[in-house]
Amino acid sequence: MAVSDHADLERFMEGVKKRNPGQSEFIQAVQEVAQDVFDFIEDKEEYHEAQILRRIAEPDRVVSFRVCWEDDNHNIRVQRGWRVQNNNAIGPYKGGIRFHSSVNESVLKFLAFEQTFKNSLTGLPMGGGKGGSNFNPKGKSDSEIMRFCQSFMTELYRHIGPDIDVPAGDIGVGSREIGFMFGQYKRITNRWEGVLTGKGIEYGGSKMRPEATGYGAVYFLCNMLAHKDDSIEGKTAAISGSGNVALHAAEKFRELGGKVLTLSDSDGFIHDPDGIDEDKLAWVKDLKLNRRGRISEYADEFSGAEFHEGKRPWHVDVDCALPCATQNELEEEGAKALVDNGCIAVVEGANMPTTLEGVKIFHEARILYGPGKAANAGGVAISGLEMSQNAERISWNHDRLHDMLTDLMEGIHEKCVTYGDQGDGYVDYVKGANIAGFKKVADAMLAFGVV
């Protein structure tokens, strides 16, 4: 990048910071995309004239609303809900809903921004959005979750629709919550339509959707390794998280001949040097999905395993790392530890789990690094196919969807290589994903003129 472009990028980022005070996650996500896109658009006057980057870094709208609900002790509780509709240039807004105490406008704006490029990379007609609430689902009864979801949808329903905005799950929102929200949408509108994805299989959900994000991330890793004539067979992995993405990533990594050594939750991580085999994984699934317990219980159940309270798994000696919990969970120090221990590949199941400093370490070490917007796009891709199936009033079978997922992940990998190949054997997957994702959205926006 020329010196004048550095100054332009800095000026651009100063503007972003000024317009979004205190929104550090959003600023981080824009910075990461802008530095690659600046290079790409340097000689493309039409993007500059139309101020495309400036426009993409401003959500179409941010809807904020009150969510009032009653807990089991008849206390009235008030939370804040949001839907960030970031960009619908290439299709209806699409992206998950997150329920977690850390949710705020900055987090949802960063997620909606990332989602726009991720959805573009899938090749399917989906714009980008994200929503959620600072509601903390931990320790709540099923009835409390139901009342909260119903109240949340009582406001959200007026902003969404199968051709407008189609939410899905994310942290704290799984099939139980989607069921409660879909039921409420149907009750209010008297319409059965594909307004949410990640639905139960009985009422319009797609086969392969629960597995798609975790499996897709592992398929992306397979593609990165295959590009280097390597494979997962015999490799070890550190995985963070123990939710939908982490558990399916662990399942597929193991099925393909790898050994998973760690899982985590917000209390700490477990390290099992013998590997988390099929039976142990089934036990964790039951712990998390049915008993809604803590990962520390794993170390009580299985001898040889240790629980490390308040720690993350990046100091464990592994070949591959799959951060699958949350944003900024892999910082500079963890990234250094991975590289020093000889880790050859990092693939992100979570959204923006690596800090900008961590990303720099991976780039300098020239290891394989697959950013979330490419690597975890399998989930939203199958969501896109759930929308197609709902529109057609038809259900496709498992094998067809599985083949589509593997093809989609291969296609995303190819796009990253096209735009990220540095010509010396190194693929900058971040750059590849950013430019390929940006180009399609930007070209659509150009076609619309000034809107």
Catalytic sites, residue numbers: 130
Binding at 390: pick from ligand 2IT, ligand NDP, none (beta carbon under 5-8 Å per type)? none
Looking at 35, 91, 93, 94, which residue binds ligand 2IT (CB under 6 A)? 94
* Per-residue binding letters, 256-275, with ligand NDP (x by CB under 6 A): ---------xx---------
What residues from 81 to 120 belong to the interface with ligand NDP (CB under 6 A)? 100, 102
Binding at 94: pick from ligand 2IT, ligand NDP, none (beta carbon under 5-8 Å per type)? ligand 2IT
Looking at 81, 91, 96, 358, which residue binds ligand 2IT (CB under 6 A)? 96
- Cα distance between residue 16 and residue 22, in whole Å: 11
Query: Residue 94 or residue 280: which is nearer to ligand 2IT going by CB?
Result: 94
Q: Which residues contact 451 (CB under 8 A, 6 or more apart)?
A: none
Looking at 25, 105, 144, 170, which residue binds ligand 2IT (CB under 6 A)? 170
Amino acid at 252: K
Q: Minimum CB separation from ligand NDP for residue 4, in Å?
A: 36
Looking at 133, 150, 351, 355, which residue binds ligand 2IT (CB under 6 A)? 351
* Per-residue binding letters, 373-402, with ligand NDP (x by CB under 6 A): ---x--x-----------------------
Binding at 128: pick from ligand NDP, ligand 2IT, none (beta carbon under 5-8 Å per type)? none
Looking at 122, 244, 389, 390, which residue binds ligand NDP (CB under 6 A)? 244
Binding at 25: pick from ligand NDP, ligand 2IT, none (beta carbon under 5-8 Å per type)? none
Closest CB to ligand NDP: residue number: 243
Please report, as ranges, the residues that interact with ligand 2IT according to CB under 6 A: 94-96, 115, 118, 168, 170, 197, 351, 379-380, 383
Q: Which residues here bind ligand NDP, judged by CB under 6 A?
A: 100, 102, 169-172, 174, 213, 241-246, 265-266, 324-326, 349-351, 376, 379
